[in-house]
C-alpha cells in the first residue's frame, strides 16, 4: 500500500505568481490546459498500489479547491483529501503535524511532491529503486550547470551507492551539479527525524525567526520544519538519504514566466502521455504548428495560426487572422481579429482588440542554461522592469492597434495606449 502527499503551500507563498494568483490558488493555475497539481495527481494515480492522495497546505478550502478535489476523486477513483495547516509549517511541518493521517492504514512508503515543480514524475522507477535498497529518504535529483546549481538544493552523492553525503540548500559557491527536484519517496520511519526537529525546536524556543527568502514573515515555531535545512542537511552522510537521478523533464514553477516554460514541457510530454489533448490540423480548422492545447469549448477561427506551445482555455474566443505563439490564454478571454500574442499570458475574461500586439520576452528557468533568468532574481534593475513575459490580469481590456511589450497589467484595467517595460497599476 502506498500514499502520496502534495505540498501546496498557501496564499503567503506564490507572491511572484501575481497578478495571476489573485484569481485562483497557484496550485490550480492551468498549465498545459489542466490545473498545475493535476499533473502530480495523474502521476500518483498511475503508481500500482496507490491508495490515497493527500494535499497539505494553508489555503482556505474555497469553492475552487473543493470543486477540484471532487472532480479529481471521480476522475481517478482515488480518495483525494485536503489537510489544512493551522499556520504555515514549512516543507516538513505539515508532514509531521498530519503524520497520523499519512500513516493510517500502514503504507509501505509515501511520496512527497512539491506542487510548484514540473516533471514527468518517474515515481514507479523511484519505487523500484526504493524496494531494491530501502532507506528512510529517497530524493529525486537531476543535473544543472555550475551557474544555475546555486539556485537549488545541491546534492553530493556517492556515485557507486547514490547515498547523499552532503546537502546544501542554495549554496553561495559551487557544491555539486546534482540538484534536488522537490520529489521524494519516504519510508514511515522518515517521520522520526522530523519529530526530533520538532522537539528540538520546542526546547530551543525558536519563535518568530524568518524562514528565508521564499517564506519571509511566516510564523516560526516548534511546528515549523524545513525538510531541506533541518532534515536533509543534518542527516546527509549518515546512510539514511539516497538520491535517484533522472534525465527526464523538470523545472520549478515559481513565477508566471516559469509556468509558460512548464506548459511547453508538459505539451511536449503529451506526445507520449496524452496525445488526445493535443490539437491536430484539420481541413477548415485553424493552422496548428507544434504542440497546442485547445479546450473543447473554445471558439477558434479557421484563419488563426496557433503554436508552438499554446494553451487555450475554456470559453476562449480567437478571431480571424489571430497569431498565437508561446502563450497561455485563460478562461473566457477574447482575442479579436488579427491580434498577435507572443510569449504572454492573457488573463481570465480579458479582451485584446483588433490588430493589437501583446508580446513578452521568454525567460525560461532552464537549470542547464547558464544564461537563464531564474525566478529568484529581481524583476527590476536600475528602477526598470526587466524584459520578461507579458501578463494581462483578469478582465483587462486592450484597445485596437496598440502594443503591450514586456509589461504586467493588473486586473480590471482598461488601457488606452501602448506600454513597454511597465507594471500598469
- For the stretch 168-201, pLDDT in tens is 999 999 999 999 999 999 999 999 999 999 988 8
Which of 5-19, 195-209, 349-363 is the least confident region? 195-209
Split at pLDDT 50, 70, 90, the class of 214 is: very low
Taking residue 113's Cβ as centre, other Cβ atoms within 10 Å add up to 27
Has residue 219 got a pLDDT over 50?
no
Split at pLDDT 50, 70, 90, the class of 18 is: confident
Average pLDDT over residues 264-269: 96
Q: Determine the pLDDT at residue 373.
A: 56
Q: What is the DSSP string of 56-82?
A: EE-S---HHHHHHHHHHHHHHTS-EEE
Q: Determine the pLDDT at residue 232.
A: 96
323 by DSSP, 3-state: which? strand
Has residue 81 got a pLDDT over 90?
yes
Helix (H) or strand (E) holding 146: helix 146-149
Average pLDDT over residues 206-225: 53
Average pLDDT over residues 338-365: 94
Report the alpha-carbon distance of residue 329 to residue 340 in Å, rounded: 12
Taking residue 294's Cβ as centre, other Cβ atoms within 10 Å add up to 24
Average pLDDT over residues 397-422: 95
378 by DSSP, 3-state: which? coil
Q: What secondary structure letter does DSSP report for 27?
A: G
Q: Determine the pLDDT at residue 131.
A: 95
Split at pLDDT 50, 70, 90, the class of 379 is: low
pLDDT tens by residue, 309-319: 999 999 999 99
From 276, 375, 332, 335, select the one nearest 18 (Cα to Cα): 375
More confident residue, 293 or 255: 293
Q: How many alpha carbons fall within 13 Å on the CB side of residue 273?
A: 15
Q: Determine the pLDDT at residue 212.
A: 44
Split at pLDDT 50, 70, 90, the class of 22 is: confident
Q: What secondary structure letter does DSSP report for 131?
A: H
Q: Determine the pLDDT at residue 10.
A: 87
State the residue for C-alpha cell 559557491.
Answer: 173
Has residue 98 got a pLDDT over 70?
yes
Report the alpha-carbon distance of residue 224 to residue 220 in Å, rounded: 6
Q: Are 305 and 322 in contact (CB under 8 A)?
A: yes
Report the alpha-carbon distance of residue 155 to residue 233 in Å, rounded: 9
Q: Determine the pLDDT at residue 66.
A: 93
Backbone angles phi, psi at 271, to 5 degrees: -55, -35
Has residue 378 got a pLDDT over 60?
no
pLDDT tens by residue, 113-138: 999 999 999 999 999 999 999 999 99
Whether the model clears a pTM of 0.85, i.e. scores above it, the answer is yes
Q: Determine the pLDDT at residue 134.
A: 94
List Cα–Cα distances, 243 to 13, 131, 150, 332, in angstroms.
27, 14, 18, 43
Amino acid at each position: 500500500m502506498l500514499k502520496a502527499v502534495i505540498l501546496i503551500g498557501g496564499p503567503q507563498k506564490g507572491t511572484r505568481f501575481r497578478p495571476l494568483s489573485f484569481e485562483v490558488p497557484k496550485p490550480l493555475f492551468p498549465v498545459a490546459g489542466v490545473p498545475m497539481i493535476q499533473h502530480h495527481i495523474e502521476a500518483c494515480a498511475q503508481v500500482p498500489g496507490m491508495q490515497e492522495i493527500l494535499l497539505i497546505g494553508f489555503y482556505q478550502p474555497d469553492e475552487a479547491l473543493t470543486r477540484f478535489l471532487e472532480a479529481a476523486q471521480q476522475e481517478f477513483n482515488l480518495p483525494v483529501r485536503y489537510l489544512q495547516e493551522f499556520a504555515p509549517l514549512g516543507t516538513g511541518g505539515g508532514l509531521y503535524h498530519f503524520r497520523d493521517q499519512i500513516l493510517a492504514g500502514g503504507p509501505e512508503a509515501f511520496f512527497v511532491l512539491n506542487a510548484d515543480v514540473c516533471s514527468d514524475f518517474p515515481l514507479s522507477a523511484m519505487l523500484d529503486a526504493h524496494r531494491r535498497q530501502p532507506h528512510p529518504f529517497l530524493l529525486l535529483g537531476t543535473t544543472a550547470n555550475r551557474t544555475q546549481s546555486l539556485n537549488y538544493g545541491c546534492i553530493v552523492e556517492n556515485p557507486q551507492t547514490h547515498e547523499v553525503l552532503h546537502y546544501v540548500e542554495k549554496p553561495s559557491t559551487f557544491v555539486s551539479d546534482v540538484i534536488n527536484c522537490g520529489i521524494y519517496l519516504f519510508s514511515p520511519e522518515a517521520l522520526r527525524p522530523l519529530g526530533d526537529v520538532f522537539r528540538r525546536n520546542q526546547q530551543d524556543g525558536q519563535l518568530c525567526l524568518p524562514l528565508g527568502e521564499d517564506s519571509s514573515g511566516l510564523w516560526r515555531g516548534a511546528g515549523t520544519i524545513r525538510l531541506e535545512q533541518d532534515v536533509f542537511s543534518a542527516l546527509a552522510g549518515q546512510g539514511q538519504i539516497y538520491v535517484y537521478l533522472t534525465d527526464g523533464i523538470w523545472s520549478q514553477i515559481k513565477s508566471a514566466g516559469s509556468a509558460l516554460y512548464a506548459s511547453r514541457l508538459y505539451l511536449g510530454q503529451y506526445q507520449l502521455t496524452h496525445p488526445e489533448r493535443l490539437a491536430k490540423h484539420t481541413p477548415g480548422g485553424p493552422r496548428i504548428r507544434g504542440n497546442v492545447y485547445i479546450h473543447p469549448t473554445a471558439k477558434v477561427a479557421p484563419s488563426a495560426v496557433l503554436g508552438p506551445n499554446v494553451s487555450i482555455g475554456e470559453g476562449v474566443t480567437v478571431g480571424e487572422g489571430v497569431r498565437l505563439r508561446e502563450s497561455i490564454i485563460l478562461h473566457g478571454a477574447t482575442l479579436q481579429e488579427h491580434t498577435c500574442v507572443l510569449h504572454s499570458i492573457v488573463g481570465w475574461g480579458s479582451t485584446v482588440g483588433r490588430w493589437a500586439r501583446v508580446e513578452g520576452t521568454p525567460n525560461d528557468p532552464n537549470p542547464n542554461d547558464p544564461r537563464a533568468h531564474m525566478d529568484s532574481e529581481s524583476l527590476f534593475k536600475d528602477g526598470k522592469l526587466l524584459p520578461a513575459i507579458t501578463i494581462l490580469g483578469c478582465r483587462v481590456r486592450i484597445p485596437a492597434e496598440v502594443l503591450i511589450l514586456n509589461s504586467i497589467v493588473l486586473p480590471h484595467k482598461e488601457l488606452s495606449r501602448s506600454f513597454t517595460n511597465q507594471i500598469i497599476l
